[in-house]
Amino acid sequence: MYYTTPNSKVGSIFNTTQEELETPVQGSDRVILVAVFMLMMFGAMAVYSSIAYFAQMHGTTAGTLVSGHIVKLGIAFIAMLFVSKLNYRVLARFSRIAVIVSWLLLIVVMIYGDLVFGARRSLSIAGFSFQPSSFAAISVIIHTAVMLHEKQEYIKDFKRAFLPIIIWITITCFLIALEDFSTAALLMSICVVMMFVGRISAVQLFALILIGIIGGASLIMSSAERQSRVTQYITQITDINTDRLESASGYQAQQAHIAVAKGGFFGVGVGKSSQRDFLPAPYNDFIFAIIAEEYGIAGSFLLILIFTVILFRGVAVIARNAPDVLGTLMALGATLMITLYGFVNAAVATGLFPVTGLPMPFISYGGTSMLFAGVMVGILLNISKHNRQLQNKFYNG
Distances (CA, A) of 28 to 151, 170, 315, 383: 29, 34, 15, 8
pLDDT of residue 144: 96
Angular region, 247: left φ>0, alpha ψ -120 to 50, beta rest? beta
- For residue 23, the SS3 value is coil
pLDDT of residue 280: 74
On the CB side of 287, CA atoms within 13 Å amount to 30
Write phi, then psi, for 238 (nearest 5 degrees).
-95, -20
pTM: 0.84
- For residue 147, the SS3 value is helix
Q: How many domains does the chain have?
A: 1
More confident residue, 140 or 350: 140
Residue 17 scores a pLDDT above 60: no
Confidence of residue 18 (pLDDT cuts 50, 70, 90): low
Beta bridge partners of 123: 130
pLDDT digits (tens, 9 = 90+) for 234-284: 666 555 555 555 445 567 777 777 888 888 888 888 877 777 777 777 778
Do 165 and 200 form a contact (C-beta atoms < 8 A)?
Answer: yes
pLDDT of residue 118: 58
The share of the chain scoring above pLDDT 90, in percent, equals 39
In a domain, 50, yes or no: yes
Average pLDDT, the chain: 82
In a domain, 232, yes or no: yes
Span 199-218, mean pLDDT?
84
Q: How many CB atoms lie under 10 A from the CB of residue 18?
A: 6
- For residue 121, the SS3 value is strand
In a domain, 105, yes or no: yes
The share of the chain scoring above pLDDT 70, in percent, equals 79
pLDDT digits (tens, 9 = 90+) for 173-192: 999 988 888 889 999 999 99
In a domain, 14, yes or no: no
Contacts 24+ apart (CB under 8 A), 111-118: 113/179, 118/225
In a domain, 175, yes or no: yes
pLDDT digits (tens, 9 = 90+) for 138-167: 999 999 999 999 999 999 999 999 999 999
Listed in sequence order, the residues at least 6 apart from 394 whose beta carbon sits closer than 8 Å to its beta carbon are: 24
Q: How far apart are the first and last CA of the chain?
A: 29
Query: Which domain range does residue 144 map to?
Result: 27-395
* Residues 63, 358, 191, 137, CA torsion sign: positive
Q: Which of 127-136, 156-165, 332-341, 375-384 has the lowest mean pLDDT?
A: 127-136
- For residue 93, the SS3 value is coil
Do 297 and 264 form a contact (C-beta atoms < 8 A)?
Answer: yes
Beta bridge partners of 119: 116
CA angle, 83 then 87 then 88, to 5°: 80
Packed helices 368-384 and 62-85: angle between N→C axes, nearest 10 degrees: 30
In a domain, 279, yes or no: yes
pLDDT digits (tens, 9 = 90+) for 65-119: 888 888 889 999 999 999 999 899 999 999 999 999 999 999 988 888 776 655 6
CA–CA separation, 19 and 23 (whole Å):
6
CA–CA separation, 97 and 93 (whole Å):
9
In a domain, 21, yes or no: no
Nearest alpha carbon to residue 175 among 98, 100, 107 = 107
Q: In whole angstroms, how large is the CA radius of gyration of the chain?
A: 21
DSSP state of 161: I
In a domain, 4, yes or no: no
In the sheet that holds 114-116, the strands lie side by side as: 114-116, 119-125, 128-130
